[in-house]
Amino acid sequence: MSDDLLQKATRARARMAADRQAVAPAPEGPVQLTPAQTGMWMAERFGKAGARFTQVRAWRICGALDLDALDRAIGRLLQRHDAFHLRVLSRDGQGMPDFSAPPPWSGVEAELCPRGEPDTEAWVQRRITALSQRRFDIASGPLSGFHLLICGPDAYVLVGLFHHLMSDHRSFTLMAEDLSRLYALEVGASPDPQALPDPGQYRAFLAGRPPREADPSARQPLAEPVWPTQVEGPSEQLDTMAHFVEVLLDPTESDAVGRAARACDATVFGLTAALFQVLVGRLCDQSDVSVSVSRTIRSGAASMDVIGMFVENVALTASLGADRCLADLAGDVGRALAEIPLGAAPILSEGPAGASVIYYGDPTPTLDLPGCRVARIEPEAKPVPVAMQLAIYREAGRLRLRLHGQRRLFSRDALDRALGAYRQMLVHVITAETPATVVPTRLPLVPEGAQRADLARHATAPARYPDAVDLATLFLAQVRHSPDAPALRTPDLCWSYRDLAAQSLAISDWLRQQGLAPGERVGLSAERGADHIRALLGAVLAGLVVVPLDPTHPPARLRDMIDIAGCRRVVGAGGAAAQTDGIGPILRLPPVTATDPGAQLPDHATGDPDGTAVIVFTSGSTGRPKGVATPHRGIARLAAGLTPAPPGPGDRVPQLASPGFDGAFIEIWGALLNGAELVSPEGPLGDARAIGDHLERYEITKAFVTTGLFNLLVDTRPEVFRTLRWLAIGGEAASREHAERFLRDHPGIPLYNVYGPTENSALTTMHRITAGGTGPVPLGRPLPNNLALVLDRAGHVLPAGFVGELWIGGAGLAKEYVAQPDLTAERFRTFPARQVGLPDHGDLRLYQTGDRVSRDSAGCLHFHGRVDGQIKFNGHRIEPAEIEDAIQRCAGIETAALLPLWSEDGGRVTGLAAAVVSGEALDVTSLRLELARSLPRTHLPTEIHAFATLPLTPNGKLDRAALRDTLEARRAAAAATAGAADLSHVDERLVAAWTDTLGTPPSGPDTDFFVAGGNSLSAMQLLLAAEEVFDRRLDINRFSPMRR
C-alpha cells in the first residue's frame, strides 16, 4: 500500500509539471528591500546566516488526502502570490528585490517513511529538523519549498519551508486559508472559483516605500547578551537550530497579566517584553541589555491580505538599575516603539547571539482540507535567528509563553529553568498589590522549597575533619603516629617526622626566649627550604601568628605589611635575612643543632582552632595590601579536604609555591598533616629545567602547580610528570589546550583544576579535567566543608545556568582583613540560611569573591569573569587600583590606568599594560625602577605606554574599551616596525624569542628584560627558547632580576 502511495505522488508530480498557468506580469516601478530584509540579505551575502532565517510550518494530515489535488493547490498558491516569486540580486553592492523570474513548480517533494522504522513520530521530527537546515539560494530562488512525509496509509505530514525574506507570521495565516480554499476547489468541495479573493501584490508594497534614509544604527550600539553557555561538545556559530519549552497560563493568570499591564500604564506586550529584558539581563548578569522586538508594519486593510515580509526589528536597550520599577521598564518599551514610526526602524547589526521577543497574538491556524483531520505540529527543533526568543500567543483568552533557545548555547533543561524564572517573576508581578512599583531585578527567581533545596545540595559538601584542634596539635599527632616516616627532604638533608619536630620545637623555645608570647604576630622572611619549614612550625608550636614576608618584595612594601599586621619582631633565615635588612631589625634564625632522637614530645595544650594561624597578604584596591587572617580550622579543613585522594604515607609533595603565596598552604600542610614527605628546594626554584629536574629526581607523586608553570612544563618538559599519582593546577584560568596535551601524554594521571581565594584558605572547589572537553575548564564543585553559592545582586540564590556572583563560606573562611574593619564588613556578610535553601534556621557568614560564575545542572561552577577590575596574572591576584596608585605617586605622573593583556583565545592574562599621562617627557626605564621600589615583581607592568590624555566616556569616566583599542593598535604598530630598532649586533633569533615572550620587541641592544616587563616565569620561557635556538645550556642565576 505504501509503495502505491509513493507511486501515486510521483505520477501527480509528473502531471502537474505539464499543467501550469502563465504568471501575470509584475507591476512596473523600482522596488527596494525593507531595512529588516536588508539586514537579512547582508547576513546571507557575508555567509553569516546559515539557516537562521528559515521558517518552518508543519501539519499532520490524517484521512483520504488527494495528492494530485494537493499538488495542484500548492502550485496555484505559488502562482497567485508574487511573494513566492521573490529573489534578491546584488547590484552595485545593494540588495535588489526581483520578481521577474517565477520559480518553476515541479510538485511537492514526497518522502516515504522507511520500512521497519520503530518510531514514526521520531522519524518525522528528525526529517523536519533536517529539512529546516536546508539553506536557500536567495539570488536564484525559490525562497520556499513544500515537502510531504508519507507515514503510512492515510497518514501524512506536510512541511513548508519559507525564507523570512518573503514571509511573516500573518503570511502563514493567509497561506493556510488560501491553500485550504484551493484544495477544496481542486477536490470539488467548493465549486465556486469566484470565491477566491484577489491576492495582493507584495511587489507593489516594496515599490511604494519611501527612499531609505541614512541608517542611524551606528549611533545606537547594542548591548548584546553575553550568554553563559554550558553546553558540552563542539558547536558551529551558524548552527541556529533551537528547541523550545512553553507554558500555557490559565485564564485567571492571563487576565491578571492584563490588569498588571494596565496598572503599569502599558500593554500586555510592553509588560512581558520588559520582563523578558530583565530575564536576559539576570541570566547574563548584565546591567545593560538589548532585546530586539519584531513588530508588523502592515497598515491599512489592503496590506492585511498580502503574503510577504511586513516586519521590522526595533532594538530595546534597557538599563536595569537595581531600583527601576516595572512601570518604568514597561514604559521604556512603549516609548521606544512610539519614537520610531512604522517602517522607519534602522537596520540592526544584531547577530545570532542576540535575543528577541515577539507578540504573535494568534497562532498560525491549521489547514482545512475536506475529508481529512489536520493538526499543527510544532517542530522539536527549528532554526531561530537569535540565540533566545520569547514568543507570546493569545489562545482563547489564555496566554502561551514559548521560549526558544539555540541548541549550541542552551540545553532544554537550561531553557526550562529560564522559563521557570520568567514565570516566577510574572507571578510576583500579578500577585503584587501594586504591580507598577515592583522592582523585577530584586525578585527571587527560585521559589522556596524543593528547587532551592536542590541548589543548596549542590552548593555544600559537608564532611568530618579534625575541627576542634589547632595546627600544632595536628602536627604533633602526626609525629606520634609515624615518627620515623620521612617528613622533609631537601638537597642537603632528609628529616623524619621525629627530626622535624625536634628542630621545630627548638625554634619554638628560641622564639619564647626572644620575648614572643602566644598570640603575637611574627614576620617570617625565608626562602624555600629546611629553615623556612622549621621556622614556620616553630612559630606555630609557640602559639604565634605567622606573617610570611617574601624577601624578593621591595622593602617599602614589606614595611607596609609589617605595619598592617602589627608584627613586633621579624625572623629571617639564611640569605633572606640579608635581603630584608632594609625593613628594620631582624631576628636571625639560629642554625640547626643536634637533638635527642629519644626525647619525649611535649603534651601540647590544644590551642584555639578559631584563632588566627597565618596572615597572608594579597593585592589591595586602596593602594595598600590586604592582610587575610586565616584560622587554624581553615588550614586543617584544607589539609583534610584534598580529595579524592589526599597526600599520605609514601607520597612525596614538592614545595614549589613561594612561602608568601597561599598555594604553600596546600603543599606544606597538605603533606605534613597527612603523613606525606615534603620535598623542598633550598632557595629560589630556578628555571623550568631545574623545576622539572626537581620533580623527576625526587619522583614526586602528588603536586600542586600554578597554571602558568604547568603550561610551561607541558610545553618544555612534559615527561617530568610521569611519576605523579595526581596533579592539581590553579591560580588562574586553566588552558584547555595544555590540559589536553597533558592528558594525551599521561592518560593515567588524574588532572584537577582547583579554585579558591586566600580568604577561604586557598581552596574552595575542584574539577577533574577529562580528555576531549571543549570550552573553558570549569571551576568544579565545592570541596569538603565548603559552601559555594551563586547569588544575584539582591542576595537571592540563582537558578542553574544563571550568571551571578560567587559567595563562599565554610570552615576555611578568613576571620578578617587585618586592621581594615570597613573592608571586612563589606566583603564578609551574613545571610539567613533559609534564604539560600539550607535547612538551618541560623545565619551564614559568606565571603563575596567578586567572581562571576554560573552553576550547571550537575552542580559544577563555570567562571565568567569578574564584577570588578581584579586581574589574575601568573597565579597572583592583582588589583589595578594598587598599581595605578603606585604609578601616580611617581614623580611627574598625572594619571594612569592599568589594563590586562589577554591571550589570543581570551582565556588568560598574558601581561599588564599601563597607560600613563605625564607632565613631562616620560622616561619609561626610570619609572620602572621607581615602581620596583614599591611594588613586588609580580605586580610590575609588562608594558608602559605614554599618553597625552586618556579617553573618557560621555560621563567623564575612563573609557577602558577605547583605551584597549588604542593599546592594541600601538602594539600592532610596534610589532610591524620591530626592525627599526638598532639591533644589528643582536642575533635576530634572540630578538624573535624576546618578542614572542613579552609581546613587544626590545627597544635596543641594552634593554633590560625585567625593566621591559619580564618576570621569573617569562624569563624561564625566554631562556628555554634561547637554549633551543643556540643549542647550549644557559644559567638562569646569571639572568637575575634587577637588584633593589
CA–CA gap between residue 518 and residue 511 (Å, rounded): 10
All three cell numbers of 402, joined, read 514559548
User: Which helix (H) or strand (E) segment is 42 a member of?
Assistant: helix 35-45
Alpha-helical regions (H) of 46-119: 67-80
CA–CA gap between residue 820 and residue 564 (Å, rounded): 9
Residues 6+ away with beta carbon under 8 Å from 362: 173, 393, 394, 395
In 153-198, the DSSP E strands lie at 155-163
Domain range annotation of the chain: 2-207, 222-370+379-450, 469-608, 876-1038
**Nearest residue to 296 (alpha-carbon basis) of 308, 288, 285, 287:** 308
CA 634 to chain centre: 29
Residues 6+ away with beta carbon under 8 Å from 591: none
All three cell numbers of 379, joined, read 517542530
CA–CA gap between residue 321 and residue 326 (Å, rounded): 11
Residues 6+ away with beta carbon under 8 Å from 556: 933, 934
Tell me whether the omega of the peptide bond preceding residue 142 falls within 30 degrees of 0, making it cis. yes
Q: Do 465 and 642 form a contact (C-beta atoms < 8 A)? A: no
All three cell numbers of 443, joined, read 525578585
Q: Do 28 and 335 form a contact (C-beta atoms < 8 A)? A: no
CA–CA gap between residue 862 and residue 473 (Å, rounded): 37
Domains 2-207 and 222-370+379-450 share a fold: yes
At 279 the three-state DSSP class reads: helix
587 strand-pairing partners: 571
All three cell numbers of 965, joined, read 583599542
Spell out the CATH class of 2-207. Answer: alpha beta
Q: Do 470 and 815 form a contact (C-beta atoms < 8 A)? A: no
Residue-level pLDDT at 553: 86
Spell out the CATH class of 222-370+379-450. Answer: alpha beta
Residue-level pLDDT at 22: 33
Q: Do 234 and 381 form a contact (C-beta atoms < 8 A)? A: no
CA–CA gap between residue 1041 and residue 1024 (Å, rounded): 17
**Nearest residue to 951 (alpha-carbon basis) of 913, 895, 902:** 895
Q: What is the DSSP letter of 441?
A: G
Q: Do 635 and 785 form a contact (C-beta atoms < 8 A)? A: no
Residue-level pLDDT at 188: 86
Residue-level pLDDT at 26: 45
Residue-level pLDDT at 889: 81
Tens of pLDDT, residues 598-634 = 778 877 666 899 999 999 998 766 668 899 999 999 9
Residue-level pLDDT at 1022: 74
| Second CATH level (architecture) for the domain 469-608 | 3-Layer(aba) Sandwich (3.40)
Residues 6+ away with beta carbon under 8 Å from 518: 542, 543, 544, 607
Tens of pLDDT, residues 77-100 = 999 999 999 999 988 888 999 998
**Nearest residue to 588 (alpha-carbon basis) of 613, 602, 571, 565:** 571
Q: Are strands 569-572 and 587-588 parallel, antiparallel or unpaired?
A: parallel
In 859-928, the DSSP E strands lie at 861-866, 871-873, 876-878, 893-902, 909-918
- What is the total residue count of the chain? 1044
CA–CA gap between residue 448 and residue 425 (Å, rounded): 14
The sign of the torsion formed by the CA atoms of 792, 795, 801, 804 equals positive
Q: What stretches in the chain show pLDDT beneath 50?
A: 1-2, 10-27, 214-220, 233-238, 1041-1044
Max Cα–Cα distance, the chain, nearest Å: 117
Residue-level pLDDT at 731: 87
All three cell numbers of 291, joined, read 532585546
CA–CA gap between residue 504 and residue 532 (Å, rounded): 10
Residue-level pLDDT at 886: 84
CA–CA gap between residue 846 and residue 824 (Å, rounded): 11
In 76-153, the DSSP E strands lie at 87-91, 94-98, 109-112, 144-152
CATH superfamily membership of 876-1038: ANL, C-terminal domain (3.30.300.30)
Q: Do 724 and 749 form a contact (C-beta atoms < 8 A)? A: yes
Q: Do 527 and 513 form a contact (C-beta atoms < 8 A)? A: no
Residue 727 phi, psi (nearest 5) = -135, 135
Q: Residue for cell digits 631562556?
A: 1023
Angle at 21 between CA 16 and CA 27, to 5 degrees: 140
Q: Are strands 155-163 and 144-152 parallel, antiparallel or unpaired?
A: antiparallel
All three cell numbers of 11, joined, read 505520477
Residue 163 phi, psi (nearest 5) = -75, 140
User: Which helix (H) or strand (E) segment is 404 a member of?
Assistant: strand 398-406
Angle at 867 between CA 865 and CA 872, to 5 degrees: 50
